[in-house]
Amino acid sequence: MDLFEKCYAPSRADQAREMDIYPYFHALETRQDVEVMMEGKRRIMLGSNNYLGLTVDPEVIEASIQALEQYGTGCSGSRFMNGTLELHLELEEELSKFLRKDGVVTFSAGFLSNLSIISALVGRHDYVICDRENHASIYDGCQLSFGKMLRYKHNDMADLERQLQKVPETAGILIVTDGVFSMGGDIANLPEIVRLAKQYGARTMVDDAHALGVIGEGGRGTASHFGLEDQVDIYMGTFSKTLASLGGYVATEARIADFLRHTARPFIFTASITPASCAAALASLRKLERHPELVTRLAELSTYAREGYKKRGVRIRESIADVPTPIVPLYTNDMVNTLATAKRLYDNGVYVNPVLPPAVPEADCLLRTSYMATHTEDLLDEAMDIIAKELGSA
């Protein structure tokens, strides 16, 4: 059999192209903002993870320019060797203070953060237990490790306990969950996860990629939201969302961080974060610290969007948390309807992200909308009117 045979087989992408509803790789011609020019037309951006709108902040841009001029375009090596800048250490120190953990390591991508942490910590005789709706990078981190992976039904604590009961007493256990789930926008039941972890002698890890700058005191994330900062062992997060850059981090106790620096292969063998990206993340973090009202504004707009969809008769997933997140899924069910609706919205000036299998079950396809602290109510009303019209005609 030819290795390349799979590449020539008919695919869903081919089907979508034939139906003129292919949704991917639309090209931006302007900055990542609440309104963009995309392929020659104005679009309201409801598909970005730029939660605080800092990708266009003048202070963040200026910090990137200064770092580029001072350090050049790249580090040409890994952090382990020649690729550590003073800027990297400064970012780690300030993240450590902000997140109230004494050990922070930064990575060149959020995806690499999960690969590094899980593969380094979960050994051959250990177990990692995951929520079924965890991000793909968590699953890949599990596969890269030598441990055994178990999964529990989404936010189902009874099923989590059933999985914990399967683990031999001699094995180490890491429970990993998204803090804010990237597709549904709901929040992990962290208090119960922490309780079960203590009961069964497990360690806990929270992926806060979509929680940093979104929930918790001053945007400190999921553990802060529940008052459990000193009871969660590991936080992981990214710089590509709230912090308007590229990269990722782990925040934990100093000894664990040092272990990861010396054993995590994706960290050791990957070039370090570029100077401009590092400076942008640091400037964004400082902006977040100085302006916690941005987090409040994001919550207000998220509530406004949820209430606006309800008023317009658009079906959304209800938020079970007292603080709404800026991820609001709109249910479109089957794949063709989802892609066709996304295409109509795009043509009418609203960009949203269609979510298809394997990210969701076949019958639960959806349009993922997300919001920024820099949106306005008027802009959201314009977008929601278009969405309500197009979903009504689906």
- Reply yes or no on whether the pLDDT at 323 is more than 80: no
List pLDDT tens digits, range 277-305. 999 999 999 999 999 999 999 999 999 99
- In the residue annotation, 241 being an active-site residue is answered as yes
Spell out a b/e string for 109-124, using b for 16 or more CB atoms within 10 Å of the CB, else e: bbbbbbbbbbbbbbee
Question: Is 225 a known active-site residue?
Answer: no
Catalytic residue among 135, 241, 287, 375: 241
**Residue 319 pLDDT:** 60
Query: What's the CATH architecture for 5-51+292-392?
Result: Alpha-Beta Complex (3.90)
Six token digits for residue 88: 């990297």
Provide the percentage of residues in the chain whose pLDDT is more than 70. Answer: 98
Dump pLDDT digits (tens) for 58-67: 999 999 999 9
Active site annotation includes 153? no
- 207 forms beta bridges with 178, 236
- Rama region for 25: left / alpha / beta (φ>0; ψ in -120 to 50; rest): left
- Averaged pLDDT score across all residues of the chain: 95
The residue written with tokens 């951006």 in the block is 45
Radius of gyration of the chain (CA): 21
The residue ranges of every structural domain in the chain are 5-51+292-392, 58-290
In this prediction, residue 361 carries a pLDDT of 83
58-290, CATH topology level? Aspartate Aminotransferase; domain 2 (3.40.640)
Q: Is the pLDDT of residue 216 over 50?
A: yes
Q: Which of 88, 135, 210, 287 is catalytic?
A: 210
Residue 394 has pLDDT above 70, yes or no: no
- 39: phi > 0 → left, psi -120 to 50 → alpha, else beta; which? left
Burial class (CB in 10 A: 0-12, 13-18, 19+), 226: buried
Nearest alpha-carbon partner for 57 in 336, 372, 380: 372
Tokens of 23: 């949704």
pLDDT at residue 169 is higher than 60: yes
78 in Cβ contact with 94 (< 8 Å): no
Which of 182, 224, 245, 319 is an active site residue? 182
Which candidate, 83, 80, 103, places its Cα nearest to that of 93? 103
Flag whether pLDDT at 268 surpasses 70: yes
